[in-house]
Structure 1
Amino acid sequence: MKFAIAVFSPAHAPSSRRALRFAQAAVAGGHEIVRLFFYQDGVHSASGNVVAPQDELDLAAEWRAFVSAQQLDAVVCIAAALRRGVLNAEEAQRYQRPAVNLPAPWELSGLGQLHEAAQGADRLMCFGGD
Structure 2
Amino acid sequence: MKFVLLISSAPQSPATRRALRFAQALLGSGHSLERVFFYQEAVHIASKLLVYPQDEPNIAQQWQTFIQQHQLDAVVCIAAALRRGVVDEGEAKRYQLQASNLAQGYTLSGLGQLHEAIQQTERMVHFRG
Structure 1 length normalisation: TM-score? 0.97
Question: Could you tell me which amino acid in structure 2 is paired with residue 13 of structure 1?
Answer: S
Offset at residue 27 of structure 1 (A) = 0.5
Q: Deviations over 1:66-118 (max 9, x none)?
A: 00000000000000000000000000010011121102200000000000111
Separation in 1, partners of 2:99, 2:7: 24
| Structure 1 gaps, min length 5 | none
2:8 corresponds in structure 1 to 8
Partner residue, 1:125: 125
- Deviations 1:4-53, CA, capped at 9 Å, x for gaps: 00000121111000101000100111110010000000100111011111
What is aligned with 1:98? Answer: 98
Q: What runs of 5+ residues in structure 2 fail to find an aligned partner?
A: none
- 1:48 paired residue number: 48
Alignment of 1:87 with 2:66, yes or no, is no
Which amino acid is the alignment partner of residue 125 of structure 1? V
SS of structure 1 residue aligned to 2:99:
coil
Question: Runs of at least 4 residues of structure 1 off by over 2 A?
Answer: none
Report % sequence identity.
55
Residue 60 (structure 1) aligned with residue 60 (structure 2): yes
| Structure 2 residue 76 is the aligned partner of structure 1 residue 76 | yes
Query: RMSD over aligned Cα, in angstroms?
Result: 0.7
Query: Which whole-Å CA distance do the structure 2 matches of 1:65 and 1:49 have between them?
Result: 16
Given the two structures, how large is their TM-score scaled by the length of structure 2? 0.98
